[in-house]
Structure 1
Amino acid sequence: MAETMQFDLVSPERRLASTKVRAVQIPGADGDMTAMPDHAPTITTLRPGVLRAEGPDGEAEYVVTGGFAEIGAEGVTVLAERSLPRGDVTAEDVKAMVEEAKAAYEQAKETYVNEPGPVDDAAKLLADMVAMGQHIGLYNN
């Protein structure tokens, strides 16, 4: 078993990480998962949460709001809708993300009357965004 694997984290704005790691904890839409070297090939969607990369030089945390993670023989590649280093996230950032999710939920309720699927998806996104903010201690509502 290899000791490290390649980890790449990319958002539309920039590449946030490209390094060797021992493990990556991923906030998957179907549950959290940890990818380590020689992990079975997997693709998963992300939910809002904290992604942790554990490497030889320590741990790095990133707030992600969605996207995809691909785990393969070469390592883990995360394509995030939005991602910021955890240390750079402010209460104002989290509040703005929650407000965007609230607006999307309200729009879904208006647009998809009697169609619970899209409304439920928007409600889950809002709940996940609030939970992420509370988890990192920057949202108390």
Structure 2
Amino acid sequence: MATFQLEFVSPEKLLLSRPVEMALLPAADGQMGVLPGHAPMIVALRGGVISVREGGVETESLFVPGGFAEITPTRVTVLADEATPVAQLSRNEAEQRITAAEKVLAELNAEGATPEKREAAMARVLAARAMLAAAQSA
């Protein structure tokens, strides 16, 4: 089966770099499957799980709270501030993130913050909720 190079980069290090058959990405507009030969594009990622398929089976599942992916016909580069294997997610940590993010959002709403700030805060709430959902499914 044809493959493409998948690279997963965080600010600290290169987390993953290997040929894969398929990657499922949590794109901002919805779940997105990438196969070899995909049209070039750059997509924003929302909080969710990136799944990697090799040899016809899922070999890796990583939670990201957001980021970007650059897609070319032969390579996908994922840029994210953090990535956690789904098996290592903590429900307690996810619940704490939800509480903290909802508090910040409420404060921004109360003080009449700009729509951009409120939107960024809402994205953090949604990412924390996605983290909890991923932790519960693991």
TM-score (norm 2): 0.83
Q: Which amino acid aligns with 2:13?
A: R
Match of 1:40 in 2: 39
Structure 1 residues 24-83: Cα deviation after superposition (integer angstroms, max 9, x where no partner): 100011111011100000111111001101113742000000110110132110001221
Task: Give SS of 1:73's match.
Answer: coil
**Other-structure match for 1:72:** 72
CA distance in 2, matches of 1:118, 1:90: 27
Read off the aligned partner of 1:89 and give its amino acid letter. Answer: L
| Aligned match of 1:13 | 12
Aligned residues: 136
In the alignment, structure 2 segments of 5+ residues that lack a partner are: none
Q: Distance in 1 between matches of 2:90 and 2:113?
A: 37
- Counterpart in the other structure of 2:101: 101
Aligned equivalents of 1:91 and 1:13: distance in 2? Answer: 25
Mark the CA change 1:76 to 1:124 in structure 2 (over 3 Å): closer, same or farther.
same
1:115 is displaced (CA, Å) by 4.2
Tell me if structure 2 keeps the 8 A contact 1:69–1:79. yes
CA distance in 2, matches of 1:77, 1:34: 14
**Change over 3 Å in CA distance of 1:93–1:15 after alignment to 2:** farther
Q: Percent identity?
A: 30
Letter in 2 for 1:67: G
Structure-2 change in CA distance of 1:18 and 1:96 (3 Å): farther
Distance 1:19 1:107, change over 3 A: farther
For structure 1, the residue ranges without an aligned partner over 5 or more in a row are none
User: 2:47, 2:127 within 8 Å by CA — same for their partners in 1?
Assistant: yes
Contact 1:51/1:63, CA 8 A, preserved across alignment: yes
* Secondary structure of residue in 2 paired with 1:97: helix
Q: Give the drift of 1:106.
A: 3.0
* Alignment match, 1:30: 29
Shift of 1:107: 4.0
Please state how far the C-alpha of 1:129 moved relative to its aligned partner.
2.5
